[in-house]
Amino acid sequence: MGTEKRAKVIGCLVEGMSIRATCRVTGAAKNTVTKLLLDLGAACSEYQDRVMRDLPTKRVECDEMWSFVGAKQKNVPEDKQDEWGDAWTFVAIDADSKLVPCWLIGERNIPDAHAFLSDLASRLAHRVQITTDGHRMYAVAVPGVFGLDVDYAMLVKIYGKDRSDERRYSPPICLRAEAHEIIGDPDPAKVSTSYVERQNLTMRMGMRRFTRLTNAFSKKVENLAAAVSLHFFHYNFARPHKSLANPYPRTPAMAAGVADHIWTLDEIAGLLD
């Protein structure tokens, strides 16, 4: 497959189209698209791992988003227990540049939260302010990774009871959010998870396998990892962010100083060469 055809396939995938829809639009075979996704996902991951170093980040927001591989955890058959089930994607975002410096697909537990935050810490140039939600794994993992060399706060949301049977697929009403200072001296005015929660929506809109209430899901965790890697490469390097004005257009990677131009789809496809 030539670079131009690869670029067309990549364009479909990063705009939220499924593998089969991409095949229909581009005329490429399903196995060809899947192999391209896996190979390019690995190349995108390697490139970002290499350049996302010594970042001048000041504020980081962290969160995790649910998806599943093969089947939801309660429906996984005995012979697939080690391959299928719930998958949580941990994401960190720079609140100023909107760069996503790292992510991790794993379980929603302390060991994976620790691994995710250790990766984040290795990419930062200096002390930062971190905000997470109130999940207790962060209360253990953040001090375990950063010690006292961080300004860390939790934003704990208090929810009311849902009295409506018609809100089956909607979250309960959030009554208020409480900021809790955990380590250091975090700026109360900047304790927020709004940007990373908006990034969760970007992921669900930009990757078909994260769409809720559909039959779009990953059958292998390797495919999920490749899709996430490609998504964040396109988001970081090729997609101008509307909030990054003066000057506009700029991508998060440009705002963070790890890129000097907006990448094209042809350039992303060229990573395989």
Higher per-residue confidence, 133 vs 3 = 133
pLDDT > 70 fraction of the chain, expressed in percent and rounded: 96
Helices 221-233 & 30-51 angle (0-180, nearest 10): 60
Rounded CA-CA distance 152/190 in Å is 11
Q: What topology is assigned to 3-272 in CATH?
A: Nucleotidyltransferase; domain 5 (3.30.420)
pLDDT in tens, 106-165: 999 999 999 999 999 999 999 999 999 999 999 999 999 999 999 999 999 888 876 555
Burial 96-121 (b: 16+ CB within 10 A, else e): bbbbbbbbbbbeeebebbbebbebbb
Element (H, E) at 88: strand 85-94
Backbone angles phi, psi at 144, to 5 degrees: -65, -30
Residues 258-265: what's their mean pLDDT?
97
Looking at residue 165, what is its pLDDT? 56
Residues 251-256: what's their mean pLDDT?
98
pLDDT in tens, 193-208: 999 999 999 999 999 9
Compute CA distances 218 → 57, 67, 226, whole Å.
32, 9, 10
Higher per-residue confidence, 265 vs 170 = 265
Cβ partners under 8 Å of residue 169, min gap 6: 212, 213
Looking at residue 51, what is its pLDDT? 98
Backbone angles phi, psi at 214, to 5 degrees: -135, 175
Is the CA virtual torsion 67, 69, 70, 76 positive or negative? negative
Compute CA distances 81 → 84, 86, 107, 201, 210, whole Å.
6, 10, 13, 29, 21
Looking at residue 10, what is its pLDDT? 98
Looking at residue 168, what is its pLDDT? 62
pTM: 0.93
Rg (CA), the chain: 19
Q: What is the band of 174 on the pLDDT scale with cuts at 50, 70, 90? A: confident
Looking at residue 162, what is its pLDDT? 63
Rounded CA-CA distance 61/131 in Å is 5
pLDDT in tens, 203-246: 999 999 998 888 889 999 999 999 999 999 999 999 999 999 88
Judged by DSSP in three states, 176 sits in strand
Q: What is the band of 71 on the pLDDT scale with cuts at 50, 70, 90? A: very high
